[in-house]
Amino acid sequence: MEDAPGDGAAAQGSRSAVADERALPAWSLPPGAADQIRLDFAWPDRVTREWALEGATGKGVRVCILDSGVDPNHPKVGEVQGAVEITVDADGNPTASPDEEGDLCGHGTACAGVIRGLAPECEIHSVRVLGAGYTGSGPILLGGLRWAVEQGFDVVNMSLSTTKRQFAEVLHELADKAYFNRTILVASAHNMPVESYPWRFSSVISVGSHSEADSGRFYYNPNPPVEFFARGVDVELAWMGGKTIRATGNSFATPHISGICALVRSKHPQLTPFQLKSVLHLIADNMGGSAA
């Protein structure tokens, strides 16, 4: 079930033609070249929920769950299109091998169920980075994220964080690489007074919890670093052995935003992470006084 490298995002089509045709990166725009980077994407006069989401199912969007694995047989999760386990060598180079074990603790299955509930036709790919102990968890997390970014997933759900400063720089590089590669990283914010990553980076979409029982409702936070609040309290979740549980935590708010990103991406595949974040801001429930 391993994903083929380079089997990229659903839509790569609008990437700059100038950049593709040259051997050198486009550091500057030559005279008369403006036509070559003309953007044909037709934005509406006003970005609304209907424009962003109506009729969207997540179809064609590849969502990666960077977590403890995903139970492929759970009715709330449905089909899992890919599942790998990440191991790293002494230099931190990741290897992805087929994962036959499913979920080791329930966390990844819970996240996948939320995403499936919002975006029923998206592809779900499990990348297992948790479960091999605490000591090696940092390098495996980095290796898993590196692998996921290389695969060009459309959305990567990270309901986890690390406090290790030694990993912050590499995580930052990977987050930026994803951002420019059109992969949307959605990461859980920390509601504890410690420095942690990658949610603090501006190239990811960071998520905290609101306490309303509405999975489609989310708010833009005008006071970052947490950028969005989604449903994270008393959420019914897929669990091990086909069960469901109710749980609270930013870990479960995060896949709500991942699911909404998958919906927007499926309807508007050409959106870059920066544009998609802007769309989320424009359709948030507190935007323009629309929060009742």
Q: Which residues bind other proteins (CB under 8 A)?
A: 68, 104-107, 130-135, 137, 159-166, 188, 190-196, 209-211, 232-234, 239-241, 243-252
Nearer to other proteins, 58 or 106 (CB): 106
Taking the least distance from each CB to other proteins, the nearer of 200 and 268 is 200
Quickly tell me which residue has 């030559």 as its tokens: 30
Region at 74 (left for phi over 0; alpha for psi -120 to 50; beta for the rest)? beta
Cα separation, 160 vs 98, in Å, equals: 22
Q: Which is nearer to other proteins, 59 or 164 (CB)?
A: 164
Biggest CA–CA distance in the chain, Å, is 62
Give the nearest distance from C-beta 250 to other proteins in angstroms: 6
Identify any residues that bridge with 162 across adjacent strands, giving them in sequence order: 197
Q: For residue 220, give both structure tokens.
A: 């833009």
The encoded tokens of residue 240 equal 């091990």
Distance of closest approach, residue 92 Cβ to other proteins, in angstroms: 17
Q: Which is nearer to other proteins, 109 or 151 (CB)?
A: 109
The structure tokens listed for 86 are 């990440």
Give the nearest distance from C-beta 244 to other proteins in angstroms: 7
Q: Which is nearer to other proteins, 58 or 232 (CB)?
A: 232
Min dist CB 208 to other proteins, Å, is 9
CA separation (Å) from 255 to 32, 54, 66, 127, 232? 44, 19, 11, 15, 9
Shortest Å, Cβ 194 to other proteins:
5
Q: How far is Cα of residue 224 from the mean position of the Cα atoms in its chain? A: 19
